[in-house]
Structure 1
Amino acid sequence: MNITHPQIVLGTMDFGTRVSPGQAFAILDSFVAGGGVWLDTANCYSFWADPSGVGGASERLIGAWLRARPGARDVVRIATKVRQNPLVPHSWPDSAEGLSARAVHAGVEASLDRLGVDHVDMLWAHAEDRAVPLEETVGAFGELVAKGAALRVGAANHAAWRVERARSLAREQGVEPWTALQLRHSLVQPRPLTPLPEAGHRMLTAEDMDLARSEGLTVWSYSALLWGAYVRADKPLPQAYGHPGTTRVLSVLDDIAGELSATRNQVVLAWLMRQGIDPIVGASRVEQIEQALAARDVPLGDEHLARFAEAR
């Protein structure tokens, strides 16, 4: 599925808003020092936490860090997203930019300016936009790859059938297709068919994994650690996760974490990587990203995977 070994991706959503520049710089430095490569951001991060009411703070923070760290651009890869940034402050989703060709090109141009780079290594369509013909969106993404503004393109929060349709359209147009998926996924799962309170989140499904494996697509997972719920008593799991399967899986998680001398979070990240998935990890402190990177060394074996599968 994933043509490279799965790795930890640093999520930078709160950088420049809830995470101060100084703390964000320290986290980025620690991530790179620990061998981390991918940074995940979006042009809309984080409009809901920014007094301006629009996004861009995370990209500006990364751009400032790149300017302050000569050579850093040579060792990190940057992924950003277009689709959700409000065009009118404090007006979302009504004024979200969407995925028209004009919006995609304008969004990427602004992102490159904030980041201070001439290209991004991955450009994501942040969510579906069914008000725009898929042919138009696919063509715009392909044009950006052709001119070197994006090296790869992918789809976040898209249904599998839409991704495959988009890939077919890309072949017809002779442009670069989406080669990556980004969806919400973690070890514990919500009750089937339970609506998620987080607007726009789409759960990873067996159909998505089937598509990824058959077509060789990269898969990234967000909310991998469920906002700290695995390890923090003050961050309980969302109500949708309250079912017997969660209780069984968490019991097995505690057993395996103890056997491997690892934290719950580290075992969850190791479990995701064993599925061939790149987990995105947000951090507000240096020790959090250091602990996350240590998950790469957790010796999670087939027997452990089988125990988790049985617990479900």
Structure 2
Amino acid sequence: MRSVRLGRTGEQVSQLALGAMLMGTSTDEATSVGMLERYLEAGGTFIDTADCYAWWPGPGLTGGESEELLGRWLAKSGKRDEIFLATKGSAWVRDAEAIRSGDGSYETMAAQWVGAGGDTLRQAIDGSLRRLGTDHVDLYYVHVDDRSTPLEETLEALAEIVAAGKARYIGWSNVRTWRLERIRALAEKNGWPAPVAVQQQHSYLRPKAGLDSLSNVESIVDDEQVDYLRANDDLTLVAYSPILKGIYDDPAKREGHPIMSLYAGPDADARLAALTEVAAELDVTPNQLVISWLLHQTDPELITLMGPRTPEQLETALAASDIKLTEDQLDRLDNAGA
């Protein structure tokens, strides 16, 4: 598995990162441990989680389950020094049951987030470290951009976390480009650590024009953000949901799937047609081809974050890293669209 640099930190991390979101809940402990070991065996080094993972798979879950499982695995395996470990704060929910029994709206969920206040983050990192059984994480993200808290308060708290050795680097997730620029300017002005990674939803399909809902566009990489990342190579994109819930492999699944409301249209139709054609040439699945396409990107170079629920899904993603695309195939994929 190829490694790439993380911003200008000097760190090299695996280009294919492993998301542990469902480990300890939808994926049982034994299966999760097997997947973690398989990922390391394949050359992976970058493991991603969050303090709120995962309250949503069922009753009685509150968040922290993924970090706790990773903590048990690290304690038993002794492999903490072999991985680059990332976690996130600010999206812990105050009352998970209220969301599960609510109307399912973004607003209902967002009302339960604890946010990125200074004291909240200081307490959150301590909780994460306790569950993970480690004295530091390598990368600590603000999970959801909190516009109700002054950025100065959030950044100062993150600077304290880094100064205390509890996190080596910071990142931001689900954030718009203009906010990233403000975050970076404040960090430079005050001598605080700036984000080295931005974790956003990013895939082969492009978001359709006119999206204006916070829940729709807050986490999706658009053309403006790609341009921003090209101009600022000290900030690395970590692309989550690369296969968009697996819709690329299944035309029937795409019909009526909520995630397609962000992409559906002539541009998506043209890109899906190109994807299907190239996948058939290579005898791979469209999902695999999307991961391979992301791994081939160099302008900007990025990290692809997979979140498999089963060992079979993990193997499918790992196999994608061996797919070699010709210049012609890349050109056809890149230039497809309406």
Cα distance, 1:32 vs. partner? 0.9
Structure 2 residue 56 is the aligned partner of structure 1 residue 31: no
Partner of residue 265, structure 1 = 287
3-state SS of paired residue (2:281): helix
Give me the whole-angstrom Cα distance separating, in 2, the residues matched to 1:308 and 1:6. Answer: 24
- Are positions 1:58 and 2:66 aligned together? yes
Secondary structure at 1:255 match in 2: helix
Contact 1:31–1:290 (Cα < 8 Å) also in 2: no
When the two structures are superposed, what TM-score results if normalisation uses the length of structure 2? Answer: 0.85
Structure 1 197/285 Cα, relative in aligned 2: closer, same or farther at 3 Å?
A: farther
2:104 corresponds to: none
Partner of 1:43: 51
Match of 2:75 in 1: 67
User: Does the 8 Å contact 1:124/1:154 carry over to 2?
Assistant: yes
- Deviation at residue 87 of structure 1 after TM alignment: 2.7
1-structure distance, mates of 2:168, 2:73: 21
The 1:301–1:197 alpha-carbon spacing in structure 2 relative to 1, beyond 3 Å, is farther
Contact 1:269 1:295 in 2 (8 A): yes
Matched AA of 1:150: A
Tell me the alpha carbon deviations over residues 96-126 of structure 1, each in whole angstroms, 9 at most, x when there is no partner: 2110110011001000000111111111111
Distance between the aligned counterparts of 1:268 and 1:277, measured in 2? 13
Q: Find out whether 1:12 has 2:20 as its counterpart.
A: yes
CA 1:67–1:222: 2 relative to 1, 3 Å: same
Asked whether 1:188 is paired with 2:205, we answer: yes
Q: Is the 8 Å Cα contact of residues 176 and 218 (structure 2) preserved in structure 1?
A: no
In 1: Cα distance, 2:70 partner to 2:44 partner: 15
User: Contact 1:47–1:85 (CA<8 Å) still a contact in 2?
Assistant: no
Look up the equivalent residue of 1:180 and give its one-letter code.
A
Residue 220 of structure 2 is matched in structure 1 by: 203
1:6/1:277 contact within 8 Å kept: no
1:80-159 map, 5 Å: 80-91=87-98, 92-159=109-176
| Structure 1 position 291 matched with structure 2 position 316 | yes
- Kept in 2: contact 1:86–1:95 (CA 8 A): yes
| Aligned partners of 2:13 and 2:46 also within 8 Å | no
How many residue pairs get aligned? The number is 311
Query: What residue is the counterpart of 2:103 in the other structure?
Result: none
Q: Deviations over 1:174-226 (max 9, x none)?
A: 12111111111111134322467967852101222222222211101111111
One of 239, 246, 252 as aligned partner of 2:274:
252
Supply the distance in 1 between the matched residues of 2:284 and 2:322 (Cα, whole angstroms). 10
TM-score by length of 1: 0.92
Distance 2:29 2:209 in 1: 39
Residues 208-257 of structure 1: CA deviation (Å, up to 9, x unaligned)? 22222222111011111111112246632544233222222122112212
Q: Deviations over 1:106-153 (max 9, x none)?
A: 001000000111111111111111111101111111111111111111
| Change in 2 beyond 3 A, CA 1:132/1:5 | closer
Which piece of structure 1 moves more, 294-303 or 116-125? 294-303
Secondary structure in 2 matching 1:235: helix
Partner residue of 2:86 out of 67, 79, 93 = 79
User: Residue 182 of structure 2 is aligned with which of 165, 175, 186?
Assistant: 165
CA RMSD, aligned part only? 2.2
Q: Specify the code of the residue in structure 2 equivalent to 1:116.
A: G
The range that moved more, 6-15 or 196-205, is 196-205
> Aligned residue for 1:300?
325
Note if 1:21 corresponds to 2:13.
no
Percent pairwise identity: 34
- Aligned match for 1:282, one of 299, 307, 310: 307
Gaps of 5+ in 1: none
Structure 2 stretches lacking a partner, 5+ long: 99-108
Retained in 2: the 8 A contact 1:260–1:299? no
| Cα gap change, 1:234 to 1:19, in 2 (>3 Å) | farther
Superposition misfits of 4+ residues, deviation over 4 angstroms: 1-6, 195-201
> Would the alpha carbon gap of residues 271 and 126 (structure 1) be closer, same or farther in structure 2, given more than 3 Å must change?
same
C-alpha distance in 2 between matches for 1:183 and 1:31: 22
Deviates more, 1:188-197 or 1:30-39: 188-197
Counterpart-to-counterpart distance in 1, 2:25 and 2:69: 9
Partner of 1:219: 237
Offset at 1:39?
1.1
